[in-house]
Amino acid sequence: MNPLLLWFHKLGSPPYFYRLAGRFLPWLYAIALITGAIGLYGGLVVAPADYQQHDSFRIIYVHVPCAWMSLFVYAFMAANGFVALVWRIKLSEVLAMASAPIGAAFTFITLVTGSVWGKPTWGTWWTWDARLTSELVLLFLYFGVIGLYSAIEDTRQAARAAAFLALVGVVNLPIVHYSVNWWNTLHQAQTVSLMGQSKMDASMLWPLLTLAFATHVYFFASLLTRSRVALLGLESGKEWVRALVNARTGGRQ
Amino acid sequence: MKPGTTRAACVALLRRDLTLIWRRRGDALNPLLFSIIVVALFPFALGPEQATLARIAAGTIFVALLLASLLSLDMLFRSDLEDGSLEQLVLSPHPLSLLLACKIAIHWLTTTLPLIVIAPLLAQMLYLPDTVLPVLLIALALATPLLSLIGSVCVALTVGMRRSGMLLTLLVLPLIVPALIFGAGACNAAQAGLPFTAPLLWLGAWLVLALVLAPLAAAAALKISLT
């Protein structure tokens, strides 16, 4: 068998994944912490104040990375849900369900920081603008997935049902992403773009990109922690979990 | 018609569902009474000024009818699950999505269509201008099947649950928000004398898309929750 394919098959096995994730975790947390600190220092201290919004623009360094993550995590969850439904891979179910609360948290932070930012610049905490509304709907979609998952008793069936719901909700992603371009309401249009020139000065841009990287790494660290715990619960009757517990407690029951 | 064909199965299902609903025809009144009472609450809460009520009329009627049909969605598979015929539908050799499409159609015809029929009465209660009424009816005719179709997927996901009402609301409403925005938006545009065709066309496009995809999705969801 192709070594890459073999590795992929091995990755789907819970004990192998558990060990591998445990080895990666400290590194991921360290990288997230260091790049996050660098990005925050760059954004809050080094970057110059905005000519119009002065220092209040600095909340962008929390708001925008979290907003990107809210979409990225949903896409990640839906992709894993798709894999779980089509190929019945247990690990994908666990990953999809572990990412839902993290994504909901990122969405919530996006909404809160956005409203804190909106007060000094727009003069209002909340407005029924297209992007704000679609982000709120995204939060409700996350809540729906989490609610459905916790409402069904059988964990694996719950994961499949919730993964299916996540897939149905994917229609909202392009609406959130393009809402500022489709409806020209209060929220500003896209300033930072991966392809082509960003409409932001380099001195302000680099901390933003650093923080975006840090939040991605943090997401994966948090995801691996959550899915390791979920795997232990799901596989609690299996031999490898028993061996793990015995090694930890020295065989005492 | 040859027995055993897919068409015969669909006709038999339609006839069975209609008979069952006819035997309990009193139940069909509940969504109507619900929406009338909900609409009647607004003059109590906001005061009887004609101008205020006329401004919120279209949106209020939209929300009241969406909630009424949402609450009745819960019954889509309930009795079939209890008497075991839902499993028979899943096990049958005919395409499940087609059978579910028949069930959804019957459900829409028997619970939501009467709601649209009484919409002119609700419009009168809230002093909706007569020129807006046709737009409201068209928007409702496009948006409520959309709700039934999208809702059927969520009902299929929650089918085995004991108290699924609240959860169902949490699942369906975020997905139906665009239909509400465009449907009520068309009415508000018509009321303000602005062009209203674009949102109606959007609703129509979504309805066509949902007509094709939702029964397939509902069949997949039902198979997940019945395993």
Candidates B167, B173, B175; nearest CB to A168 = B175
Instruction: Give a yes or no: residue A8 inside a domain.
Output: no
Count of the separate structural domains present in chain A: 1
> Is A161 close to B177, i.e. CB distance below 8 A?
no
- pLDDT band at residue A55, thresholds of 50, 70 and 90? confident
Instruction: Give a yes or no: residue A85 inside a domain.
Output: yes
Cα nearest neighbour of A145 on chain B: B171
Chains A, B: CB contacts within 8 A come to 55
Candidates A147, A152, A168; nearest CB to B217 = A168
In this predicted model, which residue has the larger pLDDT, A7 or A19?
Answer: A19
Instruction: Spell out which residues of chain A touch residue B206, defining contact as CB-CB under 8 Å.
Output: none
pTM of the model: 0.85
> Is A143 close to B178, i.e. CB distance below 8 A?
no
Instruction: Spell out which residues of chain A touch residue B199, defining contact as CB-CB under 8 Å.
Output: none
In chain B the first and final C-alpha atoms are separated, in Å, by 33
* Amino acid of residue B54: A
> Is A151 close to B170, i.e. CB distance below 8 A?
no
- Residue located via tokens 């994504």: A103
Angle (CA) B184 B187 B190, round 5°: 150
- pLDDT band at residue A189, thresholds of 50, 70 and 90? low
Which of residues 130 through 149 in chain A touch B, CB cutoff 8 A?
133, 137, 140-141, 143-144, 147-148
Lowest mean pLDDT among B26-30, B110-114, B141-145: B26-30
The Cβ-side half-sphere exposure at B111, using a 13 Å CA radius, reads: 30
Q: Note whether A191 and A197 are within 8 A (CB).
A: no
Tens digits of residue pLDDT in B149-184: 999 999 998 887 777 778 888 888 888 888 888 898
pLDDT at A253: 53
Which of residues 169 through 198 in chain B touch A, CB cutoff 8 A?
170-171, 173-175, 177-178
* Amino acid of residue B144: T
- pLDDT band at residue B200, thresholds of 50, 70 and 90? very high
Candidates A143, A147, A168; nearest CB to B153 = A168
Cα nearest neighbour of B164 on chain A: A151
- pLDDT band at residue A191, thresholds of 50, 70 and 90? low
| A150 touching chain B per CB within 8 A | no
In this predicted model, which residue has the larger pLDDT, A6 or A228?
Answer: A228
> Is B170 close to A140, i.e. CB distance below 8 A?
yes
Q: Note whether B62 and B143 are within 8 A (CB).
A: yes
Q: Note whether B157 and A137 are within 8 A (CB).
A: no
pLDDT at A186: 65
Instruction: Give a yes or no: residue A5 inside a domain.
Output: no
- How many other C-beta atoms are found inside a 10 Å radius of the C-beta of residue B84? 8
pLDDT at A129: 78
Instruction: Give a yes or no: residue A2 inside a domain.
Output: no
Candidates B174, B178, B227; nearest CB to A140 = B174
- pLDDT band at residue B25, thresholds of 50, 70 and 90? confident
- Residue located via tokens 């003069």: A123
| B37 touching chain A per CB within 8 A | no
Instruction: Spell out which residues of chain B touch residue A161, defining contact as CB-CB under 8 Å.
Output: 157-158, 221, 224-225
| A152 touching chain B per CB within 8 A | yes
Instruction: Give a yes or no: residue A6 inside a domain.
Output: no
Tens digits of residue pLDDT in A75-130: 999 999 999 988 888 899 999 999 999 999 999 999 999 888 888 888 888 887 77
Instruction: Give a yes or no: residue A94 inside a domain.
Output: yes
Instruction: Give a yes or no: residue A194 inside a domain.
Output: no
Selected for mutation to probe chain B from A148, A154, A156, A173 (highest B CB count within 10 Å) is A148
CA distance A197 to A194: 8
The range of the structural domain enclosing residue A211 comes to 24-187+204-249
Instruction: Give a yes or no: residue A45 inside a domain.
Output: yes
Lowest mean pLDDT among A52-61, A106-115, A137-146, B119-128: A52-61
Instruction: Spell out which residues of chain B touch residue A147, defining contact as CB-CB under 8 Å.
Output: 167, 170-171
Encoded tokens for A86: 């089509």
> Is A148 close to B153, i.e. CB distance below 8 A?
no
pLDDT at residue A135 is higher than 80: yes
Q: Which has the closest alpha carbon to A231: A239, A241, A221, A222?
A: A241
Q: How large is the average pLDDT for residues B100-107?
A: 93
Helices (H) and strands (E) in chain A, counts: 9, 0
pLDDT at B9: 87
